[in-house]
Chains A and B, each alone.
Chain A
Amino acid sequence: MKKTLFDKVWDSHIVKSINNGPDVLFIDRHMIHEVTSPVAFLGLEKRKNSVLYPNKTFATADHNTPTLNQHLPVSDPLSRKQLQALENNAKKYGISYWGLGHEKNGIVHVVGPEYGITLPGATIVCGDSHTSTHGAFGAVAFGIGTSEVEMVLTSQCIMQTKPKKMRISINGKLNNGVTPKDIALFIISKLSTSGATGYFIEYAGEVFKEMSMEGRMTVCNLSIEMGARGGMIAPDEKTFNYIEAKEYTPKGDKWKKAMKYWETLYTDENAIFDKEFIFEGSEIDPMITFGTNPGMGISITKVIPKKEDIKGSIETFVKSLNYMGFNEGDTMIGKPIDYVFIGSCTNGRIEDFRAFAKIVKGRKRDDKVTAWLVPGSHKVMKAIKDEGLLEIFEAANFKLREPGCSACLAMNEDKIPAGKYAVSTSNRNFEGRQGPGARTLLASPTVAAAAAITGKITDPRNLM
């Protein structure tokens, strides 16, 4: 039978299939962080179980960590306790642990690929929905709940039914100023936040072939925002070059053996998808969201749709615009903004900071804008310094913070105040996501940079 890339990876990890039930799926790599793991460890202890394969689980602290003065004790007692719990659990069970200040510390989905924990053809899970990021390497990677974290710790397996398969192809060339984030926001705006629920996506076509590994991570990261279990891209030369000689990548004979498997990882010709979408690269413009879910995105030059053009519930649409303080038919260009956040597992990698630097270089931040530049990891932070980007940022009146999830979910102090507008490179514009009452506009690092310089929504192509 012809198989898709997804079939090949999923099927080769089935320990057992239950009739009219889930598959028992073996997990190669498990990543944990401080927020969704403590209750799983408690469960483990209550049942007197242990961790079956501690060397397949990796712990990093990210969701709850401060992004200033990381060398000082964490001031919030609850956050401190949660971080402590992660450290204690990791030590107790022999799990490698990259805590606050550790040179390998960073956002779980940023550090996984950086150190070769993320591999093609692997099954990767984490108690965080954006685990889909790792699909950029041809892995089957998806977010799980805390009960499932406990399952993986106990048995290195989870029990899930196999999702359906979707392929999204984008052919042709991209327009100037269009980044991977714009591509993802474009797709979500077409499919809606539930359009891929129950599916696992494969991204295919020229645009993804041409895309850098970092761009692929951005796109796969956002798969979950259309409801998909995950998204993946077939591994190629770029993938293998990226992972080669990383700390946790197989070496020597093991590399050769793995390579044999990796070279089989593509969708067979004539394999069947349950659903297919095909777009042209030229359809896509720089994007921005105007509402309170990631599907409410439009080309930056367009106006907010009218009620009569909305497919879903009008009530929900109106509620969303009220929250944002926008009106139907409004133009996005020129709307004043208060905050800019660049970071998160969506756009907190070095390429994102390079794109940001390109726009702000030789310019100055608008005085009215507060900007938070938060690298996704220590490695990214170091690269920002080594490549001279920090000087560009400082000359333009930007400061760099320390790594973590930060204002992506605002669990730490980095909260956008109520009523304020933030152009954010993160992944969710839900009500209150970036702080109670915060109003989020999702966009690419390039659009964020243009907003930071001009103090309003600006087409970045005018600054290129």
Chain B
Amino acid sequence: MAYDSFNILKSTAVPLPIENVDTDQIIPARFLKATERRGFGDNLFRDWRFNQDNSPKENFVLNNSSYSGKILVGGYNFGSGSSREHAAWAIYDYGFRCVVSSFFADIFKNNCLNIGVLPVQVSVDFLNKIFEKIHNDPNTEIEIDLPKQKITIESIAISEIFEINSYKKENMLNGYDDIDYLKNLKSEIQDFALKTPF
């Protein structure tokens, strides 16, 4: 399922300075009953965002109108737990294109890259600076430059380089995914299959 290509993103950001945010929080299991990929954004962080009677929880950041933007900034070990791609879909569908953290869980990171959400891993120090800066000024803009692999907060003139392997980067820049690649490899795969022991 192709997604919009990603190049340079400049946006305000939403801070969530909690560690070990797991995918059960990002999208609780009871919302995984869909047979189509639709409407997951409405249930993003459902139980942190809404009371059981569906009224919004005032102290949760997504209900705080001072914060908005296409970048979600999370604490250490973001996206741990369940492999549900629904978590990445919920983030994308809500309107985020990028998640910044000092550490990501493996499967979540893969899922994000596969559907067009860019996970940007920064140093603990840089992450704390982002939290501090957006706490003081929610209108702070962050620039994510994928071609240069660079994240910048212009207003305080700091930036950092982030890692992404060149294959995934190419995909993100073009909005491609792996299936296009694998389709073209069909005959090689079929030859390989003949040699497998079971």
| B-binding residues in A (CB < 8 A) | 13, 15-16, 18-22, 24, 26, 28, 35-36, 38-39, 42-43, 46-47, 49, 52-53, 63-64, 76, 78-79, 81-82, 85, 119, 121-122, 127-129, 143-148, 150-151, 154-161, 163, 193-194, 197-198, 227, 229, 250, 254, 257-258, 261, 293, 312-313, 315-316, 319, 409-411, 418, 428, 430-433, 436-437
Which of B28, B29, B103 is most buried by chain A, counting CB atoms within 10 A of its CB? B29
Which of chain A's residues has its CB closest to B88's CB?
A145
Starting from the known contacts A36-B84, A411-B29, 4 additional A-B residue pairs (CB-CB under 8 Å) come to: A38-B35, A64-B33, A157-B185, A257-B197
Q: Is A16 a contact partner of B188 (Cβ separation < 8 A)?
A: yes
* Bound: A21/B85 CA distance, A: 21
* Bound: A16/B193 CA distance, A: 13
* Known contacts A194-B80, A258-B198, A312-B19; A39/B25 CB under 8 A: no
* Bound: A47/B183 CA distance, A: 11
Task: Give the chain B neighbours of A257 by CB distance below 8 A.
Answer: 197
Which of chain A's residues has its CB closest to B22's CB?
A430
Instruction: For B33, give its contact among A43, A127, A411, A437 (CB under 8 Å).
Output: A411
* Bound: A428/B81 CA distance, A: 8
* Bound: A254/B196 CA distance, A: 11
Which of B37, B80, B181 is most buried by chain A, counting CB atoms within 10 A of its CB? B80
* Bound: A47/B35 CA distance, A: 17
Which of chain B's residues has its CB closest to A119's CB?
B198
Q: Is A250 a contact partner of B198 (Cβ separation < 8 A)?
A: yes
Question: B99 in the interface, Cβ–Cβ < 8 Å?
Answer: no
Which of B84, B106, B115 is most buried by chain A, counting CB atoms within 10 A of its CB? B106
* Known contacts A127-B83, A193-B80; A121/B37 CB under 8 A: no
Cβ of B68 to closest chain A Cβ, rounded Å: 23
Q: Is B18 a contact partner of A316 (Cβ separation < 8 A)?
A: yes
What are 24 A-B interface contacts by the 8 Å CB criterion?
A13-B196, A24-B185, A26-B192, A36-B84, A39-B35, A42-B35, A119-B198, A128-B83, A145-B107, A146-B111, A147-B111, A147-B114, A147-B115, A154-B183, A159-B178, A194-B77, A194-B80, A229-B106, A254-B197, A312-B20, A428-B24, A431-B25, A432-B28, A437-B52
* Known contacts A258-B198, A313-B76; A155/B105 CB under 8 A: no
Q: Is B52 a contact partner of A436 (Cβ separation < 8 A)?
A: yes
Task: Give the chain A neighbours of B119 by CB distance below 8 A.
Answer: none
Which of B18, B19, B75, B188 is most buried by chain A, counting CB atoms within 10 A of its CB? B19
Task: Give the chain A neighbours of B75 by CB distance below 8 A.
Answer: 313, 316
* Known contacts A155-B179, A155-B189, A194-B20; A21/B77 CB under 8 A: no
Cβ of A225 to closest chain B Cβ, rounded Å: 8
* Bound: A227/B110 CA distance, A: 13
Task: Give the chain B neighbours of A261 by CB distance below 8 A.
Answer: 197
Task: Give the chain B neighbours of A38 by CB distance below 8 A.
Answer: 34-36
Task: Give the chain A neighbours of B111 by CB distance below 8 A.
Answer: 145-147
Question: B157 in the interface, Cβ–Cβ < 8 Å?
Answer: no
Chain B interface residue count, Cβ-Cβ cutoff 8 angstroms: 59
Q: Is B197 a contact partner of A411 (Cβ separation < 8 A)?
A: no
Q: Is A20 a contact partner of B18 (Cβ separation < 8 A)?
A: no
Q: Is A227 a contact partner of B106 (Cβ separation < 8 A)?
A: yes
* Bound: A418/B54 CA distance, A: 15
Q: Is B186 a contact partner of A129 (Cβ separation < 8 A)?
A: no
Instruction: For B103, give its contact among A49, A155, A197 (CB under 8 Å).
Output: A197
Quick check: which of B6-14, B134-142, B147-155, B161-169 contacts chain A, the rest being far away?
Answer: B161-169
Which of chain A's residues has its CB closest to B30's CB?
A411
Q: Is B80 a contact partner of A227 (Cβ separation < 8 A)?
A: yes
Which of B33, B86, B105, B198 is most buried by chain A, counting CB atoms within 10 A of its CB? B198
Cβ of A290 to closest chain B Cβ, rounded Å: 15
Question: B82 in the interface, Cβ–Cβ < 8 Å?
Answer: yes
Which of chain B's residues has its CB closest to A295's CB?
B20
Task: Give the chain A neighbours of B88 by CB distance below 8 A.
Answer: 145
* Known contacts A39-B35, A293-B20; A154/B179 CB under 8 A: yes
Task: Give the chain B neighbours of A119 by CB distance below 8 A.
Answer: 198
Within 8 A of A (CB), among B56-108: 75-77, 80-86, 88, 103-107
* Bound: A412/B127 CA distance, A: 38
Question: B156 in the interface, Cβ–Cβ < 8 Å?
Answer: no
Task: Give the chain A neighbours of B103 by CB distance below 8 A.
Answer: 194, 197
Question: B39 in the interface, Cβ–Cβ < 8 Å?
Answer: no
Which of chain A's residues has its CB closest to B170's CB?
A21
Task: Give the chain B neighbours of A430 by CB distance below 8 A.
Answer: 22, 24-25, 81
Question: B158 in the interface, Cβ–Cβ < 8 Å?
Answer: no
Task: Give the chain A neighbours of B77 by CB distance below 8 A.
Answer: 193-194, 197, 227
Which of chain A's residues has its CB closest to B104's CB?
A197
Task: Give the chain A neighbours of B143 by CB distance below 8 A.
Answer: none
Q: Is B107 a contact partner of A122 (Cβ separation < 8 A)?
A: no
* Bound: A336/B18 CA distance, A: 29
Which of chain B's residues has its CB closest to A143's CB?
B83
* Bound: A436/B25 CA distance, A: 10
Q: Is B29 a contact partner of A121 (Cβ separation < 8 A)?
A: no
* Known contacts A148-B114, A254-B198, A432-B28; A49/B183 CB under 8 A: yes
Task: Give the chain B neighbours of A193 by CB distance below 8 A.
Answer: 20, 77, 80
Question: B47 in the interface, Cβ–Cβ < 8 Å?
Answer: yes
Cβ of A374 to closest chain B Cβ, rounded Å: 16
Instruction: For A432, give its contact among B1, B19, B24, B82 (CB under 8 Å).
Output: B24
Cβ of B47 to closest chain A Cβ, rounded Å: 5
Within 8 A of A (CB), among B15-49: 17-20, 22, 24-25, 28-30, 32-37, 47
* Known contacts A20-B167, A147-B1, A293-B22; A39/B37 CB under 8 A: yes
